[in-house]
């Protein structure tokens, strides 16, 4: 190995600095746009959370009262907030794990079937992905309707007489399960397409070598494919966590705004109720700030774990 000449080191370092400044100049317009589109609304969200901001203040009928961290103290002292936070974390975890499991399994299947079945699978998956959340949630509610739902009629026809006029949204956990199934249905195509692209990019020689060594399909997936797909898995996991943690539409539509007596509230719906139903905009903004901080923390933890593992970001 030939040592690098000492006089070339400063030149190379200067070149890297120059490349960095050139990249920064190219990215500056995008950064300014992101600051305008994301930074300013986030600033307003934090600002409103520091005030007693209700309907009277919004209409100009009463002056703003600065509370500082008063909204956050009230929020953290509310037992309902901790219940909703726990429900949100549990619900998001189920949705993320289900999405990764279904999407990953179908990605492996798509890489092993012929062209025509693969095309049919992708068209069906992309149809579910392209369906608007409101429309998809409404269709699912028709399917699981208490009186006229197809699912109840089929189950009764199969001999499950207890499913006649069964309400899928009355029980707290059954309702969460129904919404989670709908979320997984409309979310798994992103995971499937992303992981499929990663699978077909794996050199065939590596998979053939594992097969010649006597590795089973399950072992090949566990010891060969998953390590190579780890960067993609981190990306789809972070995306799924962000999407599912801030879920609103499916819960609001399928449970009628949060379920019976608010049993199926998640943080986004809880913030909506506080801000608009109760006209407590300051409290709703505080919940939004807490959600943003939690999502940023999750993202940073995953990126740090990825960097420690030595994988490129």
Across the 313 residues of the chain, what is the mean pLDDT of every consecutive 10-residue run?
51 55 78 82 90 82 86 93 94 95 91 90 90 92 90 91 89 93 94 91 82 77 82 86 90 89 90 88 92 87 69 52
Task: Pull the structure tokens for residue 152.
Answer: 């109840």
| The pLDDT of residue 261 | 80
| The pLDDT of residue 5 | 55
| pTM > 0.75 | yes
Tell me the Ramachandran region of residue 157: left when phi exceeds 0, alpha when psi lies from -120 to 50, beta otherwise.
alpha
| The pLDDT of residue 1 | 46
Distance CA 244, CA 292 (A): 13
| The pLDDT of residue 18 | 55
Q: How many CB atoms lie within 10 A of CB 14?
A: 10
Which residues on adjacent β-strands are paired with residue 52? 65
Q: How many CB atoms lie within 10 A of CB 54?
A: 19
Mean pLDDT computed over every residue of the chain = 85
| The pLDDT of residue 258 | 86
| The pLDDT of residue 88 | 94
Q: What would the pLDDT profile of 239-285 be if each residue is shown by its tens digit?
A: 898 889 989 999 999 998 888 888 899 999 999 999 888 888 999 99
Q: Where are the alpha helices (DSSP H) in 150-229?
A: 150-157, 172-200, 204-212, 217-220, 226-228
């Amino acid at each position: 190995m030939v040592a690098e000449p000492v006089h070339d080191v400063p030149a190379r370092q200067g070149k890297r600095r120059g490349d960095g400044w050139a990249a920064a100049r190219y990215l500056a317009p995008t950064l300014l746009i992101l600051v305008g589109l994301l930074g300013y609304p986030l600033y307003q969200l934090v600002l409103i959370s520091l005030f007693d901001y209700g309907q009277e203040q919004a209409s100009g009928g009463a002056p703003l009262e600065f509370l500082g961290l008063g909204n956050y103290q009230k929020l953290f002292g509310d037992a309902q907030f901790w219940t909703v936070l726990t429900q949100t974390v549990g619900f998001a975890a189920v949705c993320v794990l289900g999405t990764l499991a279904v999407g990953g399994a179908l990605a492996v299947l798509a890489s092993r079937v012929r062209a025509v079945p693969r095309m049919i699978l992708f068209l069906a998956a992309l149809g579910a992905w392209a369906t608007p959340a409101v429309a998809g949630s409404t269709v699912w509610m028709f399917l699981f309707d208490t009186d006229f739902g197809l699912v109840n009629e089929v189950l009764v026809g199969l001999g499950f007489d207890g499913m006649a006029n069964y309400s899928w949204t009355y029980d707290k956990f059954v309702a969460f399960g129904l919404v989670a199934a709908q979320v997984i249905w409309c979310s798994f195509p992103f995971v499937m397409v992303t992981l499929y692209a990663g699978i077909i990019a794996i050199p065939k020689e590596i998979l053939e070598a594992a097969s010649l060594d006597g590795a089973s399909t399950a072992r090949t997936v566990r010891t060969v494919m998953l390590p190579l797909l780890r960067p993609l898995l981190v990306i789809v996991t972070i995306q799924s966590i962000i999407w599912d943690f801030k879920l609103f539409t499916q819960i609001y539509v399928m449970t009628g705004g949060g379920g019976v007596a608010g049993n199926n509230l998640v943080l986004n719906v809880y913030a909506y109720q506080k801000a608009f139903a109760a006209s407590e905009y300051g409290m709703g903004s505080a919940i939004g700030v807490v959600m943003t901080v939690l999502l940023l923390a999750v993202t940073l933890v995953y990126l740090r774990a990825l960097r420690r593992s030595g994988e490129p970001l």
